[in-house]
Every structure is written in C-alpha cells, then in structure tokens.
Chain A
Amino acid sequence: MKPIGEPYRFHGASKYVLDDELAKIVNVSMALEMPLLLKGEPGTGKTMLAYAIAESLAMPLIVLNVKSSMKLLDALYQYDTLTRLNDSRFGDSKRDVSNIEEYIRMGKIGQAFVSDCRTVLLIDEIDKADTDFQDDMLDVLDQMQFDIMEIDKTVTAKNRPVIIITSNAKKDLSDPFLGRCNFHHIAFPDPEMMRMILNVHFPDLSEELARASLLTFYRLREFRGIEKKPATRELINWVRALQSDPDFVVKTLENGEIPYLGVLFKKSLDLNLALQQAGRARK
C-alpha cells in the first residue's frame, strides 16, 4: 500500500454537520475518482453536502440543476446561432463571425471541464431527467471528455471535478448508471444529530427551547397521513420563527401548543391533518 498522499481531504464545513460515515465515503469517492450518488429524503442535506465539500476543499462549486426537459447537450455546450446571425448581419461586435468557436458557450459540465482549477460539480436531482440523459451523461463523466460537433473539437477535462449527484426519487436509477457511481443513502438525522445541526445554525439557542422544539418536531414527524413531512429546512425556519416572536415562551410548546404550523407543513392538506392531530394531542 502506498502512503496516503492525497492533497484533498474532506473534513466538514462551517455550516454543515457531517457525520463520520459520510466523510469517509466522500474521501473514498474522491480517491477512486468516482461520482458520488446521494439519495435520501428531501431535507437530509444532500445538496448542502456539495456546498460544504466545495467550501472545505476551497474549490469553486458548479451547480447543474437538472430539469425534466433537459438535453445532455444543454449541460455540455450551446451553439449560440442567434448571436452569430445577428453579428453576421450587423457586424458591430468584436467576434469573428467566421469562427464558430466564438459562439460556443459552455454548459455547466463544460464549465467544470475547462476550469483552470479543480471544481466541485453538483448535479442536482438527476432523477428528474430521463434515463437516456442519465446514461449519456455518465459516459461523458467517465471519459472526462466530449465533442463539440459544430467545430469538430474535443473538450477534455483539465482537472477531474469532484462530482456529487443527488436524487430524491425512491425509484431506482438504471443499473449502468448505478454501476458507475458510489452510492450513499442519507438517513434522516436522529435527534442528537439534529441538535448539532441546530447548534450550528443557532449558536445562541437556549437549551430548553432546543429540547422542546426538537421534541415537538419529531412528534410532528410521526403524524399519520402527512405527505410531505417537515424536514431539516422546515425545522430551522420554524425555530427562527419561534425565536423572533417576542410573545413566544417555551412553556407553550411544553403545553402541547404548536405555533406557526404553517412553517412546518407546506401543503394545505398536510396542514389540516396536522392541525387536527395536534389538537387531539392537546386534549
């Protein structure tokens, strides 16, 4: 075995609470130069992880937000025909109209490839795209190069980006796709972990408020029939709301009353259900 000579090691960033397991997986994926696929309930910090990695490795972050209508080409490059047409007609720009390369714009993946320093490339919510997009994209990421057809040129990555891919869906991605990624499933944080997350976001949070709000929060997550359960983001917003309300006292929570339910439940059906069940709990 050769000594660990890796220049980049990931330890966690200022606003993101990272557990050991995840840190190890990130490090292994970086060493193997493989994309890391993160799955998990919404609100478990999949997207935040990429931000944290970028911050702690001091690399620029490039985010590709996948949309259902997206073509792979959009993520690689774009040939700006309209500008070229305009330039050829009016000729008042400094661009050379006969040189097509000047009208090629890099997409997000392209940007990560041509960047002069190593970057973190976050491909967010890959499950929105269709399977063709997913497979083709991994081909590109595997080979670290793609062709620009219009000018017959191959773009090769100067630096292999650190690739993080996130997926919300419970539906499995295709086998070839999975085969080329490292996989991790982020479980919903347990109360202890959540406490640490709260501490990071609210350094001056009082002990009793933290305890009471977490207790209520995890009780709310147990409610039946809720379609979109409140997650970390909702909890943080909720605690912020509680803190900023001058009339709020921790006693309220202990009495079973829950102010600002609307911050926690975003769908009207969910909110109604939660109101009913919260009301029942109080009696």
Chain B
Amino acid sequence: MFVQFFYMLRERGVPVTPTSFLRLQKALSLGVIGSIDDFYTAARSILVKSERYFDTYDQVFAHYFRGATILEMEDVELTDIAKALLEEWLKHPQEMAEALGLDEEQLSRYTPEELIRYFLDRLKEQKEAHHGGNRWIGTGGTSPVGHSGDHPGGMRVGGTSRNKSAVKVAMERRYRDYSQEGPLTEIQMSEALKRLRRMIPHGPRDVVNVDKTIYETMRNGGEISIVFDRRLSDRLKVILMIDNGGWSMDPYIGIVQTLFNYARSQFKDLKIYYFHNTLYSSIWLDPQRHLRPEAIEEFTRRDPETRLIIVGDAAMAPYELTGANAAIYVGQKESRTSEERLKFLARTFRHAVWLNPQPESSWGYTWTIGAIWKIFPMFELTLDGLEKAVQHLMKRH
C-alpha cells in the first residue's frame, strides 16, 4: 500500500528507507491506523526523521491525497544574494549607482567599505525596520548575540491545530520554516567543540584509582591500601585570532560572534586577538586594533601545546601576503612578509587551524586562500568544518 507515496517522498528528497516503509505497513496491519488523519501523523513519525523534511512531507501528502501542486522553492540566503550582487555591481559602477539611487559622482566618493555598509543597510531596511546594531564583537556593549539578522523573522511558531482534516493540516504547511537550515547556533557550536579539551590531573587527590588500589592491596598481602588520584580537568589553552577588519568579513559577523561567545564561555584559558586580512609583525588585543598590540615574535614564549584558531576569510590582495612592506596601514613598517609570519606561527603551534566562513567550494577562486591553505589546515566555519577542525586540533602529532 502507498508504494507510490513512498517513492514520491524519495523523489522530493526526503530520505525514507525501505525498512521504515515496511514498518509503516506493519503499523497498518496492526490496526493502529484507523483514518487518514491517523495515517498522516503515524506515517510522518515513522518515515520522516527530521523536522527539516516535515514541510516536504506535508506537500507530498497534500499532493498525493488531494492533488495539490508542489511548489518549486529555492531559498537563497540574503547574504549570498548580497555578495553576488555586489561582485557584479562593483564591475559596473553605473548600474550600481542607479540601483542605489545615487549618481555616479556621489558613488565615487565612497570607499568600497562605505559602499558595502550602505548597501547592507539598505537591504536590511527593506527586510526589518528596526534591525539592531551590526557591530563587531567587543566594540559595543550590546552586540546582537548569536542571533542572525540575516534570517528575517527567525523560526516561525508552528502551532498545533485541532479539528482539521489531515490534508488541510498538511496544506497549511506548518513546518515551512523548519525546512531551511538556520544559522549556526551556540548550542550547535558547543556540540562540535565539546571534544576540544585536554584533560590533565589537577586539584586535590580525591578520586579512587581502583586498579592501583587493588594492586597495592595485593602487594600489601591483602591489607587494604587505597590509592587516590587527582581529578582530571580541562586545561586546554586556546588562542583565537579573529579577522575583524574590512567589509569582506561583514556577512559573517553573526557566525563569528557565536563562535566568540562560545569560546569565551567555554575555554578557561583563552586569549583573543584581532587582525585585518592577514598577520604582520603585531596583532592586537583590542578589537579596534589600535591600543594594545603584541609582537608576533612574543608567541614563541607561549606553551607550544596551545591550540591556535584563526578565523578569517583569507581573501585579500596577493601583495598583502607576499609583499615585504605590504601592510595596508600607513606607518606600519615591515621587515618580513606576512606569509613568513604565518609560517612562523604554524611552526610555533603544532595544533593550529584556520577557519574560513566562506564555503569551501569558493576557495579555489581566491589566490590568497590557496596560499594560506598551504600554511594552515583550513576548514569551513560550519558544523561539519568545525568538527573536522576539532579532530585536527586534537590529533597527536
């Protein structure tokens, strides 16, 4: 029964397995499903294993039992659109001027940084009237924590309806909002970063070591001798370096903030530094990158077991990486290239990763990403990438 329904679900991308389908048949034969309403709920709980597919299930159900049309829907995230549009527009300043309602002369007075901000502000105005501060971490007291303004409205509250037929319920598409992947939340981060710890005996000896106790007791000729150990606790040292400069990192503010908040609450020994695009002779402890610089050479004095995590899009002009005097700030005199600095860090800390918020598929298009990739193992700033990065950080070299 309902074989076609099963295949329709598969076609629409719901991962239904034959086993679960057989289980549905068993449920039918057991007589626990008495009506189409029962079928709707029972089949969903048996076949569909994630709320992300509930919406597709609803559509297929409505289609199968009522012939409703299935909509093709592609959700593209705002940031992606913004990025793509910008890249296109930067090539055609005139079009851009028209679209933003400025004339070209006005436009030319803006720096790219101002332009992007202007553009993003405009986009946000359209989406959400009172969008809060779009500030970088640490620069303001009220940064919007972990919640992304780029996903307007957030998750809708799916109500439970009563006294309605299953098809009607299905056609309401209550789970539409669950079908898209939300931004990475702190909970998910903690899930991925949970294994990033280093257990070291610490504190008073208050845990019984059973094996040693038995051994010592035997040696004692049966006279009990209890051996205590120190409790294991997490002593992992982490250095987090964040690229917080320029507009190229702007779309990722939300996600980096989440990482930042998690790191601050989780790791006991954490140092956070800031840089712009890439590293030169010094790196800053303050987010404005102005007041408290620290020389890169100083890092040799740190524990080499420290885990170094660098977050940045690694996208910049090639000369910033390879030029000997390439720092984009006036007055910053450099003796060595940024590339050398990065290599120095990679040598100092055996456990280091670079997290890139850009999707891995696009890395090949930027030369500097490839160059940095050769120095540091690079991972996407997604759940999957984080997990891989943690695996790498915990590897014994």
- Which residues does A use to contact B, with CB under 8 Å? 1-4, 6, 19-21, 24-25, 27-29, 31-32, 34, 36-37, 39, 68, 81-82, 85-86, 89, 127, 168-172, 175, 178-179, 181-185, 187-190, 192-193, 218, 221, 224-227, 269-270, 272-273, 276
Taking CB atoms, residues of chain B closer than 8 Å to A85 are 213-214, 217, 224
A-B contact pairs, 23 of them (CB 8 A): A21-B41, A28-B33, A28-B42, A29-B45, A32-B27, A34-B23, A39-B51, A81-B210, A82-B213, A85-B217, A85-B224, A86-B224, A89-B223, A127-B191, A171-B191, A179-B17, A179-B20, A181-B49, A185-B175, A188-B157, A221-B157, A227-B145, A227-B186
B31 at the interface (CB under 8 A from A): yes
Taking CB atoms, residues of chain B closer than 8 Å to A82 are 208, 210, 213
Taking CB atoms, residues of chain A closer than 8 Å to B32 are 4, 6, 27-28, 31-32
CB distance from A77 to the nearest CB of B (A): 16
Taking CB atoms, residues of chain B closer than 8 Å to A86 are 224
Pick from B116-124, B158-166, B306-314, B318-326 the stretch touching chain A: B158-166
Asked if A68 and B157 make an inter-chain contact with CB atoms under 8 angstroms apart, the answer reads no
Q: Count of B residues near A, CB < 8 Å?
A: 57
B26 at the interface (CB under 8 A from A): yes
Contacts A25-B45, A31-B30 hold; do A187 and B174 have CB atoms under 8 A apart? yes
Asked if B51 and A24 make an inter-chain contact with CB atoms under 8 angstroms apart, the answer reads no
B48 at the interface (CB under 8 A from A): yes
CB distance from B225 to the nearest CB of A (A): 10
Question: CA of A123 to CA of B142 in the docked complex: distance in angstroms?
Answer: 38
Taking CB atoms, residues of chain A closer than 8 Å to B41 are 21, 24-25, 28
Question: CA of A21 to CA of B37 in the docked complex: distance in angstroms?
Answer: 9
Asked if B191 and A193 make an inter-chain contact with CB atoms under 8 angstroms apart, the answer reads no
Residues 37-57 of B at the A interface (beta carbon under 8 Å):
37-38, 41-42, 45-46, 48-51, 54
Asked if B51 and A269 make an inter-chain contact with CB atoms under 8 angstroms apart, the answer reads no
Asked if A178 and B50 make an inter-chain contact with CB atoms under 8 angstroms apart, the answer reads yes
Taking CB atoms, residues of chain A closer than 8 Å to B42 are 24-25, 28
Asked if A68 and B194 make an inter-chain contact with CB atoms under 8 angstroms apart, the answer reads yes
Question: CA of A181 to CA of B20 in the docked complex: distance in angstroms?
Answer: 9
Taking CB atoms, residues of chain B closer than 8 Å to A27 are 32
Question: CA of A234 to CA of B300 in the docked complex: distance in angstroms?
Answer: 49
Contacts A89-B224, A227-B145, A227-B146 hold; do A178 and B49 have CB atoms under 8 A apart? yes
Asked if B159 and A190 make an inter-chain contact with CB atoms under 8 angstroms apart, the answer reads yes
Contacts A182-B46, A225-B144 hold; do A169 and B132 have CB atoms under 8 A apart? no
Closest to A40 in B: B51
Taking CB atoms, residues of chain A closer than 8 Å to B208 are 82
Asked if A81 and B144 make an inter-chain contact with CB atoms under 8 angstroms apart, the answer reads no
Name the residue in B19, B23, B160 with the highest tally of chain A Cβ atoms < 10 Å from its Cβ: B160
